[in-house]
Structure 1
Amino acid sequence: MESQVRGGTRWKRFAVVMVPSVAATAAIGVALAQGALAASFSVSGQSFKVTTDQLVGTGFSQYGALDEGYTMDGKKAVHPVAVSSFKQATIKNLCQSVVTPNIPVLGNVSLILRAGQGAKPVEAQNLYIDVADLSADATFENIDIGVAAKDATKGPAMRKGETANPYGFAQQADKATLTDVKQTAWATTAGTFKLSGLKMSLSTGVKECY
């Protein structure tokens, strides 16, 4: 914790290691025993990268969970994630990229999606991001660290059927502001997701947001 700023808490280079690895390990055991996982769908064998200049979210919570899915050759896989959720969020200069490797004749193919680059940011409600890796500069207002996941009420509720130990570690805040965001994620879900100025491109080779 670097400093207190106007009733908030500021960290330089905030990272998802805020959710202890021991919690993720425990969650895996719960998942395998109960057969319930984080995302409401089986995730693909490809994670994706996201960058944004700024994400401002109100009603924030974060807890450890699992995503079940597949490898690129169809085998089952389980990924520990930190679920970051926001009741409402605005996102400036969003970039999302995913690379599909080893396509016959073409080789690697990259898909890049961009939105919110102009005056209108991307807007989301009830946003859940299943994050594998994240770095950013972050400021939190009225943050609680170490709350039981089931008792985190500032952000959206835990999703029905997901594997997150309800008695495990979580944190929550009235507001979170993240700048210079770089993250790798396995899944994103939202009640609404408004992409202003959406642009999508496909190209050969490896071309990512970062």
Structure 2
Amino acid sequence: MSSQVRGGTRWKRFALVMVPSVVATAAVGVGLAQGALAASFAVSGQSFKVSTDRLVGEDFVQYGSVAVGTDLEGKKAAHPVAVSGFSKATITNMCQSVVTPDLPFGLGSVSLELNAGTDPKNPVVATNLYLDVAQLDADAYFEDIDIGVAAGSMGKPGIQTGTEKAVNPNGFAQRARLATLTGVEQTAWATTAGTFKLSDLKLRLHKGVEECF
């Protein structure tokens, strides 16, 4: 799934849609998680890409859900997602990017790129982390994994608070005490966390299409 969304994007829309989809999601606006605020926001009309060298997550859960929002043309949209949850995760060399195409004034496409945790000794750290994923490529290693449990019986961190109506509690899910993902490349619609520490954060705008992968 491409993170580019075609259409007559306006400069004001670039400011209101593109920037929050990366900055607010990855930095400040991620105080939405189990035990914090309910994740009741509508997703933006743009998916985004995330890559990382290594993600180590405790209390891994995964289940199906639906991310609901509005596309860039103002129409309601619903996206099936695989939600991956962790009670705690450390992330090394994280990159997050989103592209807004067809900007006016001859700008064409503009890419927003965020990098953090490039030093393995000082990685990104998140608690109560939930990722609404549309596509994922990685090498995965699990410890104490259970496949085929009911979504409503996963144990901690459980179904994300505020999204219960979008999840079948009797539907397929899996869980593991520990999950290690390496060489991660994913396309996502939303990320939420109780806390999100972004070490050595760098944010850059690029003219043209420059994505994490």
- With the length of structure 1 as denominator, give the TM-score of the two structures: 0.80
SS in 1 for 2:170: coil
* CA deviation map 1:55-91 (0-9, x unaligned): 0000100000000011111110000000000000000
CA contact (8 A) 2:39 2:161 kept: no
Q: Which amino acid aligns with 1:115?
A: A
Alignment of 1:145 onto 2:147: yes
Question: Match for 2:171 among 152, 168, 179?
Answer: 168
Question: 1:103 deviation in Å?
Answer: 1.1
Question: 1:160 deviation in Å?
Answer: 3.0
Partner of 1:208: 211
Q: Which amino acid aligns with 1:99?
A: V
Question: 1:92 deviation in Å?
Answer: 0.2
Which runs of structure 2 are paired with 1:1-210 in the superposition (5 Å)? 39-105=39-105, 106-118=107-119, 119-153=121-155, 155-162=156-163, 163-210=166-213
Aligned equivalents of 1:52 and 1:160: distance in 2? 26
Equivalenced residue count is 172
SS in 1 for 2:167: coil
Aligned equivalents of 1:109 and 1:157: distance in 2? 37
Aligned equivalents of 2:189 and 2:39: distance in 1? 9
Aligned equivalents of 1:160 and 1:125: distance in 2? 14
Which structure has greater strand proportion? 1
Q: Which amino acid aligns with 2:41?
A: F
Q: Which amino acid aligns with 2:116?
A: A
CA contact (8 A) 1:39 1:68 kept: no
Structure 2: runs of 5+ lacking an equivalent: 1-37
Question: 1:159 deviation in Å?
Answer: 2.1
Q: Which amino acid aligns with 2:123?
A: P
Aligned equivalents of 1:85 and 1:68: distance in 2? 18
Question: 1:39 deviation in Å?
Answer: 4.9
Structure 1: runs of 5+ lacking an equivalent: 1-37
Percent of residue pairs identical: 64
* CA deviation map 1:104-158 (0-9, x unaligned): 12111100000000130000000000000001000000000000000001x4121
SS in 2 for 1:150: helix
CA contact (8 A) 2:130 2:160 kept: no
Q: Which amino acid aligns with 1:100?
A: T
Aligned equivalents of 2:65 and 2:43: distance in 1? 14
Aligned equivalents of 1:39 and 1:179: distance in 2? 27
CA contact (8 A) 2:64 2:82 kept: yes
Structure 1 runs (4+) deviating above 6 angstroms are none
Aligned equivalents of 2:197 and 2:92: distance in 1? 12
